[in-house]
Structure 1
Amino acid sequence: MSDSTADPTEAPSRPEPEVEEAFDRLVSEGRDRLARPLLPLVSTGFLGGLDVGTGVLAYLLVLHATGSHLLAGLAFSIGFVALLLARSELFTEDFLVPVTAVVAREGSVVSLLRLWAVTLATNLLGGWVITWLIVGALPDLRATVVESGAHYATLPIGLESFCLAVLAGVVITLMTRMQHSTESTGVRIVPAILFGALLAGGQLFHSVLDSLLVFAAIHADAPFGYLDWLPRLGWAVLGNLVGGLLLVTAIRLLRVPHRVAEAQHEHS
């Protein structure tokens, strides 16, 4: 007589329902982002730069008053809360969500590259504008501004800065994943505060945040310029991509291989 009792160790394992629901939310939102017309995409990215700029303003004010990067980092999280509640967008937030949609064949690689390029460019443009306003409105912050921007504008391009950029990509993409695990806005604010503080307080190498600090310093007549910033932007973007795509997005997708296969089969 055969034993009809199934061995639980032989049954295919499936992730928790919450993980599958989060995957479906990522695909749905990613599809919408990838299909966004150019004008809304430009405005969303530009506003994202402005929103992060409010965090930079808080960071500089607290750093000037206390000299503490950790307290200033906590203040910077205002910018990430603004991003969340105002529904604007940051370049590095577009790793997990639209990439998941592309993997599920709900969007193309070309539309993903378009999203990345436009969002990064408009984030930087919005950030340039608001940092010009900050320096013009608060001249007493100039010394703090130049000191903060110099940390990134003169950071050597090498292993240390690359690791800082990879960590920044991990932090932001993990924050995005945590926010998409729930539909509660109140709960989503928690990782915005925690990971925003970790990013800025830990002085990680983030392509947009650190560009804004460099822009502010240049506006304040720092002894460096855009030619010093540009190669470091490229280095930060590369590290952010490695951290966000390889260490978070790709591994997270391995938790739902059956859902990825199902989605791909539906569009094959």
Structure 2
Amino acid sequence: MTSQNVLASLIESGVHEMNREWSGLALSGFSAGLDIGFGPLMMAVILTLSDGGYGDLGTELLLASVYSIGFMFVILGRSELFTEHTTLAVIPVLDGQASAQQLSRLWGVVYVGNIVGGFIFTLLVVVLMPGLGVVSPEAFGTIANKLVSHEPEWLFVGGVFAGWLMGLLAWLITAAQETTSRLIIVLIVTGTIGLLHLPHSIAGNVEVLFGLIMSTSVTPLDYLVFLALATVGNAVGGAVFVALLKYGHVVRGGN
């Protein structure tokens, strides 16, 4: 598939999503917020059952791999994820086929759905999982602290890189032709986010909520600062480093 074809497909998808009923977008965003939580949950299970931890290469690679599970569920299941739309929904605006108001509506509905879905998933895990004996409260706190222990400027810059990678993911998934290749792309890109511990606003929402509810070391202020800076960083990364640059080079004849 040529770069022009990829761009045309992204524009078509973005316009389609902007024209959907808000209730459909909200339900899709809610579903994505639920599904993506399986990645952070599996990370907590691995940390509970493994003798290793952060800093151990084998454990880090395994954690990055299971982090990708939630993204596979969301992306291959065609649910709406805010961080994909930092590129997907921006390109139709750049092309003049959608307005900034439509973009704001899409971002707002999908984002709220993602956050609420992640909150409900977290509550379900907190209520149901301890009885199974496969995950400990300490593991949830360890995962959350890995994100909130950084300085605010790192959260923003790290969020930019995470948004950049998610924008690339949206572009590459559109270019890929087969389910197997799409699975590999999701594993590589989101596994990179997990291995670098970059702040992804939607998956990180679940990670930090786990720590807020299950650990005394994470405060409501920690959660709000993380969510705000990660969200803004993700939006900048996807919109500037992928949507703007790739749209610019394709419409100027790049192939």
TM-score (norm 2): 0.89
The answer to whether the 8 Å contact 2:114/2:202 transfers is yes
Identical-pair percentage:
27
One-letter amino acid of the structure 1 residue matched with residue 139 of structure 2: T
Find the aligned partners of 1:131 and 1:232 in 2 and give their Cα distance.
Answer: 17
Find the aligned partners of 1:26 and 1:233 in 2 and give their Cα distance.
Answer: 27
Counterpart among 206, 209, 212 of residue 215 in structure 1: 209
Find the aligned partners of 2:248 and 2:238 in 1 and give their Cα distance.
Answer: 15
Please name the residue that 1:134 is paired with: 125
Partner SS state of residue 152, structure 2: coil
Equivalenced residue count is 243
Is 1:61 the equivalent of 2:55? no
Is 1:92 the equivalent of 2:86? no
Is 1:144 the equivalent of 2:135? no
The answer to whether the 8 Å contact 2:86/2:234 transfers is no
- The offset of 1:94, in angstroms, is 0.2
Counterpart among 94, 101, 108 of residue 99 in structure 2: 108
The answer to whether the 8 Å contact 1:69/1:202 transfers is no
- The offset of 1:222, in angstroms, is 2.6
- The offset of 1:217, in angstroms, is 1.3
Is 1:183 the equivalent of 2:138? no
- The offset of 1:18, in angstroms, is 0.7
Counterpart among 19, 27, 48 of residue 35 in structure 1: 19
Partner SS state of residue 255, structure 1: helix
One-letter amino acid of the structure 1 residue matched with residue 66 of structure 2: A
Is 1:47 the equivalent of 2:47? no
Find the aligned partners of 1:233 and 1:218 in 2 and give their Cα distance.
Answer: 13
- The offset of 1:72, in angstroms, is 0.9
Greater radius of gyration (CA) = 1
Distance 1:69 1:63, change over 3 A: farther
- The offset of 1:258, in angstroms, is 4.8
Deviations 1:65-123 (A, max 9, x none): 23223311101111111012211121100022111111222211111111111111111
Partner SS state of residue 79, structure 2: coil
Deviations 1:142-166 (A, max 9, x none): 10001111222333212x3222111
- The offset of 1:184, in angstroms, is 2.3
Partner SS state of residue 37, structure 2: helix
The answer to whether the 8 Å contact 1:70/1:202 transfers is no
Please name the residue that 2:56 is paired with: none
Counterpart among 149, 153, 171 of residue 148 in structure 2: 153
Please name the residue that 1:125 is paired with: 116
Q: Structure 2: 5+ residue runs without aligned partners?
A: 54-58
Counterpart among 206, 223, 226 of residue 229 in structure 1: 223
The answer to whether the 8 Å contact 1:207/1:237 transfers is yes
Partner SS state of residue 36, structure 2: helix
Please name the residue that 1:11 is paired with: none
Counterpart among 2, 6, 9 of residue 25 in structure 1: 9
Q: Structure 1: 5+ residue runs without aligned partners?
A: 1-16, 260-268
Find the aligned partners of 1:166 and 1:70 in 2 and give their Cα distance.
Answer: 22
Find the aligned partners of 2:108 and 2:236 in 1 and give their Cα distance.
Answer: 17
- The offset of 1:36, in angstroms, is 1.2
One-letter amino acid of the structure 1 residue matched with residue 49 of structure 2: A
RMSD across aligned positions (CA): 1.8
Please name the residue that 1:250 is paired with: 244
The answer to whether the 8 Å contact 1:63/1:71 transfers is no
Distance 1:192 1:241, change over 3 A: same
Find the aligned partners of 1:62 and 1:142 in 2 and give their Cα distance.
Answer: 13
